Amino acid sequence: MSRRAIIIGGGVTGLSTAYHLKRLGYGDVTLLEKDTIGAGSSSRAGGISTGLLWSKTGILARKTALRRFREMSRELDSYVFHNEHGCLGLFSPELWPAREALLPLYDEYDVPYQILSSAEIRRRWPQLNPEADHVGLLDPLGGYSEPEEYLAALTAEIRQLGVRIIENATALELVTEGDRVTGVRLDTGVEPADAVVVANYAWILPLLETAGITIPAKTFVHQRYVSKPLPTPFAAPPVNADPYLGYVRPAAGNRILIGAETPDRDDWKVGEFGFRLTEIADDPTVLPAVLARFGDFVPALNNAEWETRKVGLLSFSMDGEPILGPFGATEGLFVGVCFHSGGFSYNPASGYYLAEFVANGRTSIDLSAFSPDRFDAAQTAGYLASTVPQRNAARRRH
Ligand SMILES: Cc1cc2nc3c(=O)[nH]c(=O)nc-3n(C[C@H](O)[C@H](O)[C@H](O)COP(=O)(O)OP(=O)(O)OC[C@H]3O[C@@H](n4cnc5c(N)ncnc54)[C@H](O)[C@@H]3O)c2cc1C
C-alpha cells in the first residue's frame, strides 16, 4: 500500500512540503487547512528573501531556497521572483560590526555579497537616501515575491501533482499509538497517516500539546502596508533597514510596501485553533511612526497614500533559529515552524527538507541545528511561562 502523509497548515511551509513530497514520488499526500489556503501569515508576508543569514545551517538552507525561487519563477505559471536589484541590508555604524563579523561565513560557504557605501547606494538607486555613515550589504541573489501570486501558483501546481487539499478542516488532535503517530483527528473522524507534518506556525503549541509535546515558540504581532500607485515607479531593491526598524520594497502596480515591527508589544499567545489573524487589531500609531522613521531614507514615502494593511504573527524559537525536523520520541511526526520573520523566504527549502525527512528519513544537508529535540525541557517551560516584548526576541529579518 502506498505511504500516506498528512500536512497540517495551508501556508507556504505546508504547500511547499506537499509540492516536494510529490516531486520525490511520495504516495498519498493530504493537506489540511482550518480556514482557506494562505489564511495564516503567508498571505500577509512582505515576501522579501535574502541568503545573508546568521548561521551555517541558515545560510545553506537559504542557498537552496533562493535557487528554487528562481527556478519556480520559470516553472510556475503567473509567478515571478523579483531579483532585478537583489536585496539590500542597511546598517548604522552601531549595527554594522555584528554583520561584518559574519562575512567570513559568507566567504566560506560561497555566498555572494557586495558592501556598498552610502554614496554608492544613492548612485545606484537615486530614490534611496541613506545617512552618510550607513553601510549597505547587497545580496545579488536575493529579491522578493508577491505572496498572493506565489500562493496561487503553488496551490495550482500541487493540485496538479495530485495533492488532496482539504480546506475548512481543523486538525484537532495528533493521534499516537505507543511511540509513533498514526493519524490526525478531525471533527469528521480520524484520518490515518504514516507521517504527519505540522506546519501550522502560530497555532503550533495547542496542537503539539495534544501529543504531550512542547517547544519554545513565541509569536509576535507584525504589520505591513501597501500604498496606492505612485506617480513614479519605486526603482530599488527590497531593503531590510534595521536602523529604521523595518523594511521597504517596490510592490506590484507601481506601489510601495513598508513593514515594521513593534518593539514594545509583548508576545501574543495563541491558545486555541479557532483563533484567526483577523482578530488582531492594527495599532493605528504604527504606520505614522514607521513613516517618520523612513521618510528621509525613502522620500517617495512622504507623498504616498495607503491602500492596504496586513497584520499577522511572526514565530520565534528560544534561540532564534527555525524548528524543523522529526521528533526523536514520536516516530512519523515532523514539524516546520519558528522561521522568525523569514518563513516566506525559507519555504522552498523548508518544504524540501521536510519532504526529504518524510520520504527518505534524512536530509541532503545537516539540519541538526534546527532539530526540535535541541531544547532543554526546564528552559522551554520557563520561556513559555514568560512574557517577552518583541525587542527582546532575536531580531532576524527575512
Ligand atoms: C506582516 C508580515 C510580513 C512578513 N514579511 C515577510 C517577508 O518579507 N519575508 C519572509 O520571509 N517572511 C515574512 N513574514 C513571515 C512569513 O509570513 C511567515 O514566516 C510564513 O508565512 C510562515 O508560513 P507558514 O506556512 O509556516 O505559516 P502560515 O502561513 O501561518 O500557515 C499556517 C496555516 O496553518 C493553519 N492552521 C493552524 N492550525 C491548524 C489546524 N489545527 N488544522 C489545520 N490548519 C491549521 C492556519 O490557518 C494557517 O493557514 C512576514 C509575516 C508578517 C505577518
Q: What is the residue with the minimal CA distance to atom 4 of ligand 1?
A: 45
Distance 204 CA to ligand 1 centre (A): 11
Q: Coil, strand, or helix at residue 334?
A: strand
Backbone angles phi, psi at 80, to 5 degrees: -130, 130
Region of 352 (left: φ > 0; alpha: ψ -120 to 50; beta: rest) is: alpha
205's grid cell: 503549541
**Å from CA of 40 to ligand 1 middle:** 5
Rounded-to-integer distance, Cα 175 and Cα 181, Å = 6
Identify the residues whose C-beta falls under 6 Å from ligand 1. Answer: 8-14, 32-35, 39-42, 44-49, 170-171, 199-203, 207, 222-224, 259, 273, 310, 312-314, 339, 341-345, 398
Instruction: Give me ligand 1 centre to Cα 380, in Å.
Output: 22
Cα of 344 vs centre of ligand 1, distance in Å, is 8
The Å distance, Cα 34 to ligand 1 centre, comes to 13
Yes or no: say if 197 and 5 are a contact pair by the CB < 8 Å rule. yes
Q: Are 163 and 156 in contact (CB under 8 A)?
A: no
Cα–Cα separations (whole angstroms), residue 107 to 56, 116, 398: 11, 17, 20
- Please report, for the chain, the start and end positions of each structural domain, with discontinuous segments joined by +: 4-392
Taking the model in full, what pTM does it have?
A: 0.98
Q: Which residues in 269-370 belong to E strands, given as ranges?
A: 306-317, 323-326, 333-337
Pick from 210, 341, 370, 398 the residue to mutate for probing ligand 1's pocket: most ligand atoms within 8 Å of its CB.
Answer: 341
| Residue 348 CA to ligand 1 centre (angstroms) | 14
C-alpha cell at 74: 520559470
Other Cβ atoms closer than 10 A to 97 = 9
Provide the grid cell at 69.
525561487
Atom 52 in ligand 1: which residue has the minimum CA distance? Answer: 45
Q: Per the CATH hierarchy, to which homologous superfamily does domain 4-392 belong?
A: FAD/NAD(P)-binding domain (3.50.50.60)
Phi, psi (degrees; rounded to nearest 5) at 191: -95, 115
41: CA distance to ligand 1 center in Å? 3
- Edge-first strand listing for the sheet containing 180-186: 173-177, 180-186, 189-192
Which residue's C-alpha cell is 528552559?
379
- Take atom 30 of ligand 1 and give the residue whose Cα is closest: 40
Atom 8 of ligand 1: nearest residue by CA position: 46
* pLDDT tens for the chain, residues 1 to 398: 689 999 999 999 999 999 999 999 999 999 999 999 999 999 999 999 999 999 999 999 999 999 999 999 999 989 999 999 999 999 999 999 999 999 999 999 999 999 999 999 999 999 999 999 999 999 999 999 999 999 999 999 999 999 999 999 999 999 999 999 999 999 999 999 999 999 999 999 999 999 999 999 999 999 999 999 999 999 999 999 999 999 999 999 999 999 988 888 899 999 889 999 999 988 899 999 999 999 899 999 999 999 999 999 999 999 999 999 999 999 999 999 999 889 999 999 999 999 999 999 999 999 999 999 999 999 999 999 999 888 887 667 78
- Asked if residues 172 and 165 have their Cβ atoms less than 8 Å apart, the reply is no
Residue 178 makes CB contacts below 8 A (sequence gap 6+) with none
Choosing from 201, 215, 278, 395 the residue with most ligand 1 atoms within 8 A of its CB, the one to mutate for a pocket test is 201
